[in-house]
Amino acid sequence: MSRATIQDWTEAFVPLKFGDKRAVRYRVFREGDKHFQEIQDADQHPIHTLELPDGMKLDQTSYEVLLRYVLLDVVAA
Tell me the DSSP string of 1-22.
--EEEEEEEEEEEEE-GGG-EE
pLDDT in tens, 25-35: 999 999 998 98
What's the structural domain count of the chain? Answer: 1
pLDDT in tens, 6-24: 889 989 888 777 677 888 9
pLDDT in tens, 31-69: 998 989 999 998 999 988 989 887 666 667 777 777 777
CB 45 within 8 A of CB 37: no
Question: What's the whole-model pTM score?
Answer: 0.76
CB 40 within 8 A of CB 49: no
The identity of residue 72, as a single letter, is L
Domain that holds residue 38: 3-76
